[in-house]
Structure 1
Amino acid sequence: MKINIDLFCISLDLHYLCIMPDHIHMIVRVTEDMPEGKHLGNVVAGFKGGCSRAWWREEPCADAQGVVTTAEAITTPAVSSAGQRRPSLFEAGYNDQILLEDGQLDNWIRYLDDNPRRLAIKRLHPDYFTTMHYLDIGEWHCQLVGNNFLLDMPDKVAVIVHNAYTDEEYAEYKRRWLAYGEAGGILVSAAIASREKDVMREAMDLGYRLILVRENGFPPLYKPSGESFDACSGGRLLQVSPWEYHMQRRTITREQCLMLNRLAEEIVNCQKH
């Protein structure tokens, strides 16, 4: 069954579509000024409502080509004849992002093209997300444990708190970072400074996706434990270390801190191939 989004707003063109088992991705072009008083949320609400009504009506909702007509999409009532409110096909709300930077559109298309393959691998090989791998990232030969597909995600941000930040500056950065995680972005950090730890701790508690850069590597037969295991198994965590495992108690040096922060920034700017 197909629903054309331009039935709901001729100012939009569906540039790219990726349908997954439990969610849908769309890249939409705004081809002209939206009608006065109308914004993207109105269009998304109309699209979601049309899909739900098509679901309720099933086959009678489609014409011979399987295309929902405008009248059918908007006239099926949300309340049944028995007075019960019909369930929506979608959860409330949606996540949107404006693509402004060079290369963002191509990055997202590549990511969406690969989405079904990643899901198939995850379902066929669930242990793949908790097994150690090696990958060159910038100048470092890194060990990886967790969901290494997080490296492919276009939306990543480095959580690095500088000593010069005032309390007000830190509070604003923290707000932005957590909002980024709430919107589906990935927070990348070595979590060295206490304030970096606080941000990553809160993000972990909230179930956001994280890439954690570690000073120490992973021992043989390493498996994440506790909340890290749950996060890795759920595809929400990747742990990265540029160095091999050691058993000594070491005080991390300033040079190592700077190197780990550079690695975090490199992870944000790179995509795995």
Structure 2
Amino acid sequence: METSSYRPRNAGHDYYGRGTYLITLVVSGREQLLSHFVSDIGHKAEDGRKAPATLALTPLGEAVQEAWQQTPARSQAHGNKVVMHACVCMPDHFHGVIEVLEPMQWSLGDIIQAFKATCTSSWQQQQGLPPSTNRPVSADCFSEYAPAWLREKAALHTDEGSLIRSMSKKQRQEYYTLVGRQQRPLFDDNYDDTVCLDERHRQAMIAYVHDNPRRALLRRLLPDFMRRCLHVQIGGRSYGAFGNLFLLRWPRKVQIMCHRKHLVTHQPYEETADFARERSRWEAAIMEGATVIVTPGISRGEQLMKNECIERGYPLIHLQATPIGQYWKPEKKRFEACASGALLILAPWELDTMGAVGNVPSDTDYSRFHNLNTLAAEICAFNGEAKIKR
């Protein structure tokens, strides 16, 4: 069985206490079982206005959505108080926002696992199969094709649920290969949880869930501008990339690099006359055309120019330290900039091995700051063809 890149990612967090979370579950094998698009961003409603991207739920998607909405009542029966704020069934994955109101006997993981089990049971029921937890172990475990380890485990466990829980990840993969896709869980083993930081973050989570269909359609409709590449060779270095790769071909690339403080006056650099002059020069170069700004946007001065490019739609190549993986996506403002074709995000794969700066270890923020600016300079000087490794 394929596994997702998603993982619960806050090892030190109290998952029994109060909190709000954005949960992401991925359908095993990325099968498109939960929904499909019935209109796109360009579709017009009866009043002539553009209608939003519309998803039609499959019967399974309806069952998943219903299971999510029923989770508070099911959790209440076990003494756990939670509330659901939003959810969306994308074709091959699910997003939902859950809030834990009081400290629980169960962990968040227990609640999500129960939700996933309910969804799997619904899927198997729709296929006319008995739920896995009620399926006789002897159906496959004592067949002539069953490996010895499976027969031994089956002799100790009389129901499907306890049998599955007793297996290692490798053993589950072998078991599901034997019994077939229909008996596998609906969702991957792992899931992603983003912990809410404050009320503003909670509202952003809910907005992200509601906006997910539109974002998905943009990636389909604008493949050149919304391209995700895990390995792009630029001047001998490997990057993850998201956005408009054509910006690398622009004839003129200008680096924005600003120290945090002026080297002479020690004022915050963005408050100095030198910064004002440089900013005017950068803006003039942009308005002349055929110029793309390149910066990691770390210092305050760099951030100001990066944000101005994103807000005004100026061409920008933004370098970041965070890796770009298979399912990585930028936040809303950078996503919209990518959709307009004005942004390329690059993340070097070997940033922390580039070497120390001023005897400061390379895996510190200080060295990352300087090394990202070194990479920005290399990209500005790059005039070749980026090579995409598939």
TM-score, structure 1 normalization:
0.49
TM-score, structure 2 normalization:
0.35
Q: Which has the larger radius of gyration?
A: 2
